[in-house]
């Protein structure tokens, strides 16, 4: 895996083989970031199910001001920290915490311009995460939520901004 665009373009990212994770394919990542490009510069980003951190790092590479990385796995947290060291970027917070505790922790502290939700597909966590994001009011007024999933039926109070299908995968972007 590597960063596909921005100031860190071409930098290698560890973690494509972490058990229990499923890295976003380059063509999906490229399309995803092309569709939100005008929202990234100077944004505050949450990469909630961060895995290797590749999506949050891509946001940093494309001009995000600050990225919060959360994952419940010790292995993932160590990989994220190593990946961030390799690009020498300090505009981030990395925390080991599951998504529910993460969202509770963040409420009343920060609002995000971009929230990235890319959980393990068969855990069906997006609806619950979206409900918490809505209830805790974690999204700025003109912010977006980028969701990558396969076969999850999503019911949310957020409005679909953009949606694209890649084989069996969907990327849906929501707004308030």
Share of the chain above pLDDT 70, in %: 95
| pLDDT, tens digit (0-9, with 9 covering 90-100), for 100-118 | 999 999 999 999 999 999 9
- Domain covering 32-168 assigned CATH 3.90.550.10 in the classification: no
In angstroms, the Cα distances linking 90 to 4, 6, 57, 164, 165 are 20, 16, 11, 32, 34
CB 86 within 8 A of CB 60: no
Contact by Cβ (8 Å): 71, 51: yes
Which pLDDT score is estimated for 152? 75
Cα 47 from Cα 144, distance rounded (Å): 12
Tens of pLDDT along 44-97? 999 999 999 999 999 999 999 999 999 999 999 999 999 999 999 889 999 999
| Averaged pLDDT for residues 137-162 | 91
**What is the model's pLDDT at position 111?**
97
pTM for the model: 0.93
Could you state, in order of their start, the residue ranges of all structural domains in the chain?
32-168
């Amino acid at each position: 895996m590597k960063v596909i665009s921005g100031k860190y373009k071409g930098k290698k990212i560890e973690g494509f083989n972490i058990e229990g994770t499923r890295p976003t394919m380059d063509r999906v990542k490229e399309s995803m970031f092309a569709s939100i490009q005008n929202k990234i510069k100077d944004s505050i980003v949450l990469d909630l199910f961060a895995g290797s951190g590749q999506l949050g790092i891509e946001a940093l590479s494309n001009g995000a001001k600050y990225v919060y990385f959360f994952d419940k796995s010790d292995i993932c947290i160590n990989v994220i920290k190593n990946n961030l060291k390799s690009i020498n970027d300090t505009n981030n917070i990395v925390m080991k915490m599951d998504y529910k505790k993460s969202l509770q922790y963040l409420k009343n502290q920060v609002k995000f311009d971009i929230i990235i939700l890319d959980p393990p597909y068969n855990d069906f966590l997006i609806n619950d995460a979206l409900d918490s994001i809505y209830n805790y009011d974690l999204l700025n007024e003109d912010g977006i939520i980028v969701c990558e999933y396969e076969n999850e039926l999503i019911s949310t109070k957020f409005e679909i901004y953009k949606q694209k299908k890649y084989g069996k995968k969907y990327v849906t972007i929501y707004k308030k």
